[in-house]
Structure 1
Amino acid sequence: MANPWAGEVALAIDGERRVMRLTLGALAELEAGLGTDTLVGLVERFEDGGYAARDVMALIVAGLRGGGWRGRAEDLLSAEIEGGPMAATRAAAELLARAFVLPGEAG
C-alpha cells in the first residue's frame, strides 16, 4: 500500500501494482531530463492544466525510479497502465503534489 506520509503514490502497470515516490535523486534526475525547464515550471504547468504527455511520462519514470524501479522510459512506451492516460495523469499530479506539500496541508 502506498504511504502518503512518505509521498508515495500507487499505479498499476502491466497488471503489477507499483509504488512511486519522488526522492531527492529522482527529483534531480527529473530536473536534468527537463533540460532548460525547471521543477517550478513543471509544477506551474500542472497547476494551469498546460502539461504535456512528456511531463506525465517524466514524472511517472522519476516516481518509479524513486520507488526502486530500474527500468527506462522506453520500457513504458507499450506498457498497459490501469485506468489509461487519465489515471497516469492523476498519479503524476498527485506524485508532484506529495513531493512539495506536507500531508494534511493539501486542500
Structure 2
Amino acid sequence: MVNPMRGEVELVLDGRPHRARLTLGALAELETELDEAGLTGLARRLEEGRFSSRDILSVLVAGLRGAGWSGSTADLMSVQIEGGPLEAARAAARLLTLAFRGAA
C-alpha cells in the first residue's frame, strides 16, 4: 500500500502495482527532462495546463525511479497502464501535487 504522507502514488503496470514518488533526485531528473529551470517552473507548467503526453510519461518515469524502479521511458511506453491515459495523467498530477504541497 502506498503512503501519501511520503508522496507515494500507486501505478499499475501490466497488472502489477508499482509505487511512484518524486524524490529530490527524481525532481532534478524531471527538470532536466522537461527543460525547466527549477521547481517553480515545473509547478507553473502544471498550473498553466501546459503538460503534454510526453510530459506525463516523464513525470511517471521520474516518480517510478524515485521509488526504486529501474525502467526507462521506452519501458513505460511498452506496458499497459491500468486506467489508460486518463489514469496516467491523474497519477502524474497526484505525484506533482504531493511533491509540491505535501499529502493532500
Return the TM-score normalized by structure 1. 0.88
Segment of structure 1 superposing worse, 47-56 or 94-103: 47-56
1:26 CA displacement: 0.7
2:40 is matched with which residue? Answer: 40
Alpha-carbon separation, structure 2, partners of 1:45 and 1:29: 16
Alpha-carbon separation, structure 1, partners of 2:45 and 2:55: 9
Q: Percent identity?
A: 54
Which secondary structure does the structure 1 equivalent of 2:25 belong to? helix
1:46 CA displacement: 2.1
Alpha-carbon separation, structure 1, partners of 2:102 and 2:29: 22
Unmatched segments (≥5 aa) in structure 1: none
Unmatched segments (≥5 aa) in structure 2: none
- What letter matches 2:60 in structure 1? I
2:2 is matched with which residue? Answer: 2
Return the TM-score normalized by structure 2. 0.91
Give deviations 1:64-105, integer Å, cap 9, x for gaps: 0001001111111121000000000000000001001122xx
- What letter matches 2:9 in structure 1? V
Alpha-carbon separation, structure 2, partners of 1:88 and 1:41: 21
2:73 is matched with which residue? Answer: 73
Give deviations 1:23-46, integer Å, cap 9, x for gaps: 1111111111123x2343332232
Alpha-carbon separation, structure 1, partners of 2:98 and 2:44: 15
RMSD: 1.3
1:24 is matched with which residue? Answer: 24
Alpha-carbon separation, structure 1, partners of 2:28 and 2:50: 22
Size of the aligned set, in residue pairs, is: 103
- What letter matches 1:100 in structure 2? F
